[in-house]
Structure 1
Amino acid sequence: MPPRPRRSPPAARPNPFATIAKVMGGLFLAGVLTLGIAVMVALASLPGFDELMRSPNGQSVELRGADGTRLVTLGPSYGQWLNFNAIPKPMVDAMVSVEDRRFFAHPGIDPWGMARAGVAVVRAGGAKVQGASTITQQLARNIFLTSNKDYGRKIREIVLALAIERKFTKQAILELYLNRVYFGGGAYGVDAASRKFFGHSARTLSLEEASVIAGLVKAPSRYAPSADPARAKQRARIVIATMADTGAILPGEASAANLDGLRFAAQAPQSGVRYFTDWALGEVEGLTDETVEPLLVTTTLDPKGQQAAEAAMRAETPKGAQGALVALARDGAVRAMVGGRDYVASNYNRAVVARRQPGSSWKLFVYLAALEDGLTPDDRVVDEPVTFEGWSPRNNSRGNAGEVSVTQAFALSINTVAAALGNRVGFDTVADVARRFGITTPIDRRPAMVLGTSEATVLEMTAAYAAIANNGAEVRPYAVTRIATASGRVLYEREAATPRVLVAPYVAANMTKLLQAAVETGTGRAAQIGRPLAGKTGTTSSNKDGWFLGFTPELTTGVWMGRDDAKAVPGLQGGRAPARAFAAYMARAVGGTPPSPLTTEVDTGGGFGLEPDDQVYGIDPGTEELTAGDGGEVPPATVEPDPPRLDEQFLDEQVGAPELR
C-alpha cells in the first residue's frame, strides 16, 4: 500500500496577549519617538538663559503718595535677580524638599510621582488629590504656558520640561524658578517675596523665613502672611518637617527652628486707598504707553489726610448707609478720596461713579446764574408761595419768612426763593451754568431742577465748588504728578495748567459770601472748624441723600452719604452727618496751617474783576430731560446773631424751624 500522506500539523492559534503586547510595544515606541522629536523641536526653539532672565510675566505699577509713601503696588513685583550662589541654601533646600524632592535625580518629569498621583486619582474616584508637577514643569508652565488645566497643556508642559532639562543645568533651572515663581501678594521671585513679607533682601533669609516662602507656592493667597500669619507659620512647620524627612536638615535643626518668634513686615493698608489708586490707574493709562518696564507713579494723595478722611467717614456715616468723600487742592490735585465703607466688600467707587441727586447743594448753580444776571447778596427777595408750570415748591418749615436778603435766603436754603430765582434767569440758564462748571450727567430742565433733582457725581460737584474757591477759574481733578520707570527714566511730569475762567471773579466772590453765610449762620453750621469756611448742605426728598460741600482757601471737600439702593436713611440730612464728617476731615487736613481769609470782595475797577484777556466760557446746554422729583432742606432751629445779615427773632417767628440734633 502506498504510504499514507502525512497531515500537516494544525496551525498554531494566535496568542491575543502577544498581539496586544506587540501593538502596545509599537505604540510605546512610536510615542517615545514622537516625544523625542517634540523635545528636540522644543529644544531648538527654547530661548537662552539671558533672554529668560529679561522676560517678566507682566508689568508692575507702584503708586506713591505726594510725600513719597508707597500706597500700593499693583501687578507683578520683581525683586533683585539673584544668581544661584547668592540664594541662601535653606531657601533652595526648602523649595526642593516641599515641591520636588527628586529634583536632582529626574530628567524633568518624575515618573514615580506621576504614578503615585495616578493611583491617588483612581482611589479618589477621578478627583485630583495631589499634584505631580516637578519644579521644571512648573517653570515651563510659568514662563511659556497658560494656567488652563487640560491634557493638551499637560503634554506640552512635559515636552518643555524635558527640553529645558537638556538645555540648562539643574542649578540654572533652580535659579530661573526661584527668581520667577509667584509667591502671592504680587511678588514674583524670592527676593520680591522676602522684601514684601520680611522687609529685607532674600540674600539673608533664615531657615524659618525660607520655610514660610517655600510654603507659599502651593497656595499663595491661602498661606500668605499678610492674609493669615498663623496659617503661614503652620504651613512653614510642615515645610521644615519635610526638609528633615528628606535629609535637607538635621532633626535637631528642625526642632530648633523658632517660628513663634518670627516677625513679618508690616503691610501698607490698602483697603481705603484702593478707591483712589484704581481711579489713578485710569489716568496712568492715558499718560504713558509703556507696557513692559515697571512703573513708579507719584500721585497727589496726602496719606495722612486720607487716613483722616477714612476715619471721619467711618465715624459719621449712618449704619446701613454708604459714604463718599473727595478733597481737592486749589489746582485740582486730589488729596483724599473715599469711595465707600469697605473696598474689600465693594470696590464700587461712589466718589467718581455713583450718580445721586445733590439736593439743595445744586442751588450753587441757581445762585451763580442769578449773580451773573445782576443779583447781589444784599438784594431783597420774598419767601412766599410760588407755582411754576404746575409745580409748587414748599419749604421744610412748611412756612414762609416773607422778605429776606439774598444772603439769608441762601443761608437758610429757602426753596421758594431758589425756584423764583431759577424762573427769573431761566431754568435753561441754570442748566447752562451747571454744564459750564463740569456737570456731565443729564440735567432736568423743568422748574423742580433748582432743588437738585438731576443727578451728579461727588467728584463733579466738588470740582464745581472748587472753582468758586479758585476765584471762578476751572478746577480739573487730577491724580498723577510724575511717572517714571524703575530704571529712572521719566515718562511724564505734570506741568501747571492755565485754567479757563468759568465766571468773573466778582461773581465767585459774591457766591463765596453766600456760602460763608450758610456755614456761619445757616444750615451748614455743623461744618465749622474755627477758621474761614464756605459751604452748602444738600438733602433730597425722604432723606435718601445727604451732602455737604465746602472749602477753605486751600482745600475743597465734598461729602455724600446714602444707600446704594436709594432707600431713605432715617435722620440723614446734609447739615448733620455729612457736615460733621466734613468738619472732622478738614480740621485735620488744614489744621496745621495758618488760617487764610476767604475772597468775598473783588475790586472790579469797572471790569468786573476780569483781566483784559480773560474770557468766560459757556457750554451748549443740550436737551436732556428727566422726571422732576422733590428736594428740600431742613433749616436750623436757631440762628446765631448776625444783625447786618440775619434777624434771629424775625426768622424764628416767621419760619418756625424745628430743632436740629
Structure 2
Amino acid sequence: MSVIKKLCKIFGITCMVFTIFLCILAGGLYLWYRPLYLEYKDDAVRAVAESDADTFTRNLTGYIYDDSNNLISRLSIDMNSDYLRYKDIPKNAVNAFISIEDRHFREHKGYDLGGILRVGWRYLITGGEEKHGASTITQQLARSVFLSNEVTLERKVREILTAVEIEKKYSKNEILEFYINNAYFANRCYGIEAAAKRYFSRSSAELTLSEIAYLCAIPNSPSYYDPLTHADRALARRDKILEDMYDCGYITHTELREARCSEIALNPRAEEKIQNYETTYATDCAVRYLMELDGFLFRYDFEHMDDYQDYLEAYNDCYETCRKKLYTGGYVIRTSLNEEKQKLLQDTIDGVLSFDDETGSDGIYALQSASAVIDNQSHKVVAIVGGRSQDTKVYTLNRAYQSYRQPGSSFKPLAVYTPALDQGYTADSLLPNIDVSRAKGAGLAAVSFPGSRMRLDQAVERSVNGCAWWLFCSLSPEKALSYVKHMEFARIVPDDHYPASALGGLTYGTTTVEMANGYSTLANLGLFHPATCLTSLKDRDGRELYAETEPEEIYTPGAASRMVNILKGVILRGTASSMGWNLEVEAAGKTGTTNGCKDGWFCGITPDYSMSVWVGYDEPRILKNLYGATYPASIWKTVMSELVKDSARVQFDAPAAEEEIHLPAGSQEQSRYLPGRDDDEVLSDGYTVRNYREDHSVADQADTVMYQMQSLNRESENDMQTWNRLYDEAKTLIDQIYSQKLRAQEAEKLENLKDGILP
C-alpha cells in the first residue's frame, strides 16, 4: 500500500506541476498576443459597424486608363438585377447551404468551436501545413466581403472576430441573404439567381430540388465543380448535398430518391463578354496583382501533372474571387498601354492578314494573329493585340495572353542556346547536327549520337534542329527549362521535360506576352521583369496598392549579350534575312514554325522594344506559306520600323565587364595541337585537324576546371556548392568534345574525381 500511495503522490505532484506549467504558458501567450488580439478585434468592430446592407450589394465602378490618362474602360457587374431578398430565395437553396456548409448555423454566434479545435489540432500535427477549414457561413461571408483569401492563421483569427461582429449586427436571415447572393458559382456568376439564368436559362424560383442542389454544389470549389467543364463532379456533390438535406430533416426519403434519379439538363445562356484587347489584358494584370496581395503563391514548377492540375484549380478559384473584387471594388487602374502604338499594331495585323476573309460559324475570322510589344526601358507592355479586328458583337479571345501555342524554333534562344552560353558554350562551340528522326525515340541518350559539326551561331542562324536537340539533351531538360520557368512561363509542365521541347514542342505552349518578355530579358542583359501593363492600382479610398517588382537575373549579362549578337545574325543572314531589315537601329530575332506550317512566329528585339508575333488558326491547321519569316516577320518589321524611326538608341547595351570566354576555334592558342598541319587536313572520316585542335582545346579547359575542383573540401557546405557548379561546368565542356575516345577519357577523369580518385 505504501508503494501505491507513493506512486499516487508522485502522480499528483506531476499533474499539479504540469497544470501550473500550462497555466503559466497560457498566461504568457495571453500577455504576448493580447495586444494583437485587441488590434484585430478593433478592426473587426470598426469594419462591421461601418457596414450596412448596401455593403453586401454595393457595386462600385472601376476605371482603366492608358499612359496618357485616356479612359480605356469602365469595370462593373450588374449584381442588383440578380439580387434576391431572403423571402425570394428558394427554400431548398437555403436548406442546401446550411446542410452542406454549416449545420449549426442557426445556433452558433458566428463560429464553430469544435471545428476551430479540429483545425488547430491539424495545424499542430502537420507543422502548419494544414491551416484551413471549419469556416461557418458567417465566416465565409466575412472573408469574401471584408478580408483577403490568404490562408494564414492571422487571417483565420480576423475572420472569426469579424464573423462574431456580423452576427451581432445582422439577423440570421440577413446573413443567409448576403451569403447566397455573394457566393461564386463559376463562369462569372455571383448569386443563385445569376447561376440559375446562366446554366438553366430560368429563374431560380422555377428550378427543381435536384437543380437547386446541383447549383449549390458549385461554390465549394467553383473550378472543380464547374458544370460546364466538370458536370460529373457537380453531380456527385449534388447527391452528397441531397443526402445531407435528408439527414437534417429538410427533405423526405421520397424526395431524396426522386431528386437523385432526376437528370440534369443544362441549358446554358450565352455569356456576355467584352471585345477590347487593352481592357482584357489590363484586367488580367490587375486581377493577378490582387491575387498576389491576397497571398496567393504563384508557381511555375510542378512535381507531376496532378500537382499542376491541383494548382490550376486553386489558381482559377482565386482568380475569379479577385476578379469580382476588381469589378465591384471601385479600383482605378493606370497602365502603360499607348493608344498610338496599339492602333499601329492592330492596323498592321489587320492589313497583313486581309488576304484571308474566311470566318467560322461564330462570324470570327478563321486566320488569326496575336502580338505583344514591351518597352525595354520601362519593362512594361505598351501594346497588345489578341486577334484581328472586325465589326461584330461576338467576343474575341485575347490570344496575346490567353492562347498557348507551340512556339517552334523561336523557343530555342530562351530554353536552349542562352542557357548553353550561360553554362560555358560560345558562338564558336561546335555542335553535332544529329538525326532528329532517329533521336526522337532515344530520349536523352541522343547526346551520344554522331552528326556533322556546326558552329553554335550558325546553328541558330539556320535554325538547325539537330544541333538544338543535342544541346538540350546535353544540358538536360530540367536545367534548360529552369530558365524559362524563372521567367514565369505559366504552362511549362512535367510532361515537357523531354527533348522535343528543344524545338518548342511543348504540351501546352506559350503566349506572345511570355515570348516578348523572354526576349526583353535578353535585351536587358539577362534581367527579368515580370510582364505587366500596370503602373498604378488604387483602391476606392485612393490608396496606392501597386509596387514595382524587383528584377531577377536569369542569364548572366555576358550570355545574354552573346545571344543577342547571334540573333542579329538571324536577321542579317539567317532565316529572317528575307525580311530585309535595313535601318540603322540594330535588330535581333528568331523565326519559329511548327510542323505542317500550323503556327508561325517571329520574336525580335531592338534596343528600345521587344515584340513577338504569332499567326495561325485557333483550331490548328495547315496554312500554305506560313513560316516565321513570312506573315509574322512582315508584321514585326512594319510595326518595329515605325516604333524606332526616331529612336536615339541604335545599338544594344553591352555588359560593363564581359566575362572571360573560351578561346574561339582556330585561335593561336589552339595551333600548338598538331603544329604545322592545315586545318582542313582530314585525319579520319569526317574528322579534321581543326576538329582535333578544337577538341583538345576544350579538353584542356575541362582539365583546368577539374584541377580547381581538386582544391576544394567537399565536406564544407560552401565548397561543395562550388564543387557542384564546377562539376556541371566540366561536364558541359566534355559534352562538347566530338571525338568519342577523347570525350570518354575526359568523362572518366571527371567520374574518378567524383568518386574521390585523384589523377
Please give the alpha-carbon distance, in whole angstroms, between the structure 2 residues aligned to 1:445 and 1:53. Answer: 52
Q: Is the 8 A contact 2:61 2:327 kept in 1?
A: no
Q: Distance in 2 between matches of 1:439 and 1:146?
A: 38
Contact 1:529 1:586 in 2 (8 A): no
Q: CA deviation at 1:304?
A: 0.9
| Shift, 1:303, TM fit | 1.3
Structure 1 residue 59: Cα displacement: 1.4
C-alpha spacing 1:542/1:391, structure 2 compared with 1 (3 Å): farther
Shift of 1:570: 1.9
CA pair 456-54 structure 1, distance change in 2 beyond 3 A: closer
Deviation at 1:493, TM superposition (A): 5.7
Please give the secondary structure, in 2, of the residue aligned with 1:593: coil
Give the aligned length.
372
In structure 2, the residue corresponding to 1:599 is in which secondary structure? coil
Mapped partners of 1:579, 1:596: distance in 2: 20
In the alignment, residue 580 of structure 1 is paired with which amino acid? Answer: S
Contact 1:506 1:602 in 2 (8 A): no
335-344 or 275-284, which deviates more: 275-284
Letter in 2 for 1:372: D
Q: Are 1:405 and 2:455 an aligned pair? A: yes
Is the Cα–Cα contact under 8 Å of residues 66 and 338 in structure 2 kept in the other structure? yes
Aligned to 2:370: 324
Q: 1: distance between equivalents of 2:500 and 2:53?
A: 65
Q: Equivalent of 2:281, from 276, 280, 290?
A: 276
* Cα distance between partner residues in 1 of 2:537 and 2:443: 54
| 2:538/2:546 contact within 8 Å kept | no
- Give yes or no for the alignment of 1:522 onto 2:574: yes
Matches for 1:61-140 after TM superposition, within 5 Å: 61-75=62-76
Match of 2:439 in 1: 388
5+ residue gaps in structure 1? Answer: 1-50, 78-141, 154-268, 394-399, 609-614, 617-661
Q: Distance in 1 between matches of 2:394 and 2:552?
A: 40
Greater C-alpha Rg: 1
Q: Following the alignment from structure 1 to structure 2, what is the Cα–Cα distance between the partners of residues 401 and 360?
A: 20
The answer to whether the 8 A contact 1:328-1:556 is kept is: yes
CA distance in 2, matches of 1:506, 1:605: 6
Q: CA 1:70 to 1:606, structure 2 compared with 1: closer, same or farther past 3 Å?
A: same
What is aligned with 1:357?
A: 406
Q: Distance in 1 between matches of 2:289 and 2:483?
A: 30
Report the equivalent of 1:417: 467
Quick check: 2:409–2:463 contact (8 Å CA) kept in 1?
A: yes
Please, which runs of 5 or more residues in structure 2 have no aligned partner?
1-51, 90-273, 294-321, 357-365, 445-449, 663-720, 723-759
Q: What amino acid is aligned across from residue 620 of structure 2 in structure 1?
A: A
Which AA in structure 1 matches 2:382?
Answer: R
Among candidates 612, 624, 629, match of residue 575 of structure 1? 629
Report how far residue 516 of structure 1 moved. Answer: 1.3
For the residue of structure 1 that corresponds to 2:379, the secondary structure is: coil
Higher fraction of helix: 2
CA contact (8 A) 1:275 1:337 kept: no
Q: Which moved further from structure 2: 279-288 or 312-321?
A: 279-288
Deviation at 1:453, TM superposition (A): 0.4
Residue 521 of structure 1 and its aligned partner are, at CA, apart by 1.4
Shift of 1:54: 12
- Residues 14-53 of structure 1: per-residue CA shift (max 9 Å, x gap): xxxxxxxxxxxxxxxxxxxxxxxxxxxxxxxxxxxxx999
Distance 1:322 1:562 in 2: 6
Cα offsets for 1:477-519 (capped at 9, x unmatched): 1222123468xx5322644432111111111111111111111
State the alpha-carbon separation in 1 of the partners of residues 549 and 282 from structure 2. 23
> What amino acid maps onto 1:304 in structure 2?
E
In 1, Cα distance between equivalents of 2:53 and 2:479: 63
1:304 to 335, 340, 350: 340
> Offset of 1:367 from its aligned partner?
0.7
SS in 1 for 2:496: coil
What displacement does 1:427 show? 3.2
Question: 8 Å contact 2:337–2:383 — kept in the other structure?
Answer: yes
- Structure-1 separation of matches of 2:531 and 2:633: 22
After superposition, residues 447-486 of structure 1 pair within 5 angstroms as 447-454=499-506, 455-484=509-538
Residues 442-465 of structure 1, C-alpha deviations (whole Å, 9 max, x = no match) = 252332221110022222222221
1:351 match: secondary structure = helix
The alpha-carbon deviation at position 559 of structure 1 amounts to 1.0
State the SS of the aligned residue for 1:490: coil
1:259-658 matches, cutoff 5 A: 271-283=276-288, 285-286=290-291, 294-317=330-353, 319=356, 320-330=366-376, 331-342=378-389, 344-364=393-413, 365-383=415-433, 385=435, 387-388=438-439, 390=441, 403-441=453-491, 442=493, 443-454=495-506, 455-484=509-538, 489-492=541-544, 494-525=546-577, 526=579, 528=581, 530=583, 531-599=585-653, 603-604=657-658
Query: Higher relative CO (CA 8 A, sep ≥ 6), structure 1 or 2?
Result: 1
> 1: CA distance between counterparts of 2:371 and 2:594?
18
The change in CA–CA distance for 1:152 and 1:468 in structure 2 (over 3 A counts) is closer
CA 534–322 in structure 1, closer or farther in 2 if over 3 Å, else same: same
Paired position in structure 2 for 1:636: none
Matched residue type, 1:62 = Y
**Local SS of the residue matching 1:63:** strand
Counterpart in the other structure of 2:223 = none
Overall identity of the aligned pairs, in %: 23
Q: Secondary structure at the match of 1:476?
A: coil
Query: Which amino acid in structure 2 is aligned with residue 417 of structure 1?
Result: C
Cα distance in 2 for residues equivalent to 1:424 and 1:579: 31
* Cα offset, 1:302, TM superposition: 1.2
Counterpart code for 2:412: K
C-alpha contact (below 8 Å) 1:352/1:457 kept by paired residues: yes
TM-score, L = length of structure 2? 0.44
Contact in 2 for aligned 1:294/1:485 (Cα 8 Å):
yes
The amino acid of 1:273's aligned partner reads E
Cα contact 2:443–2:498 (8 A) shared by 1: no
- Distance verdict in 2 for CA 1:419–1:52, change over 3 Å: closer
CA contact (8 A) 2:62 2:329 kept: no
Q: Give the aligned partner of residue 200 of structure 1.
A: none
Residues 359 and 451 in structure 1, CA contact (< 8 A), matched pair in contact too: yes
* Secondary structure in structure 1 of the residue aligned to 2:72: strand
The DSSP-based 3-state class of the residue aligned with 1:482 is: strand
- The separation in 2 between residues aligned to 1:521 and 1:475, in whole angstroms, is 31
**Conserved in 1, the CA contact under 8 Å of 2:424 and 2:661?**
no
**Partner amino acid for 2:427?**
P
| Matched residue type, 2:510 | A
- Amino acid aligned to 2:526: G
Cα distance in 2, alignment partners of residues 457 and 564 from structure 1: 13
TM-score normalized by structure 1? 0.50
**1:427 partner amino acid:** P
CA distance in 1, matches of 2:285, 2:474: 41
1:104-149 CA deviation, whole Å, 9 max, x = no partner? xxxxxxxxxxxxxxxxxxxxxxxxxxxxxxxxxxxxxx98x75889
- Cα distance between partner residues in 1 of 2:604 and 2:426: 21
Q: Distance in 1 between matches of 2:466 and 2:621?
A: 26
CA contact (8 A) 1:529 1:587 kept: no
Matched residue SS, 1:547: strand
Partner letter of residue 76 of structure 2? G
- How far did 1:345 drift? 3.0
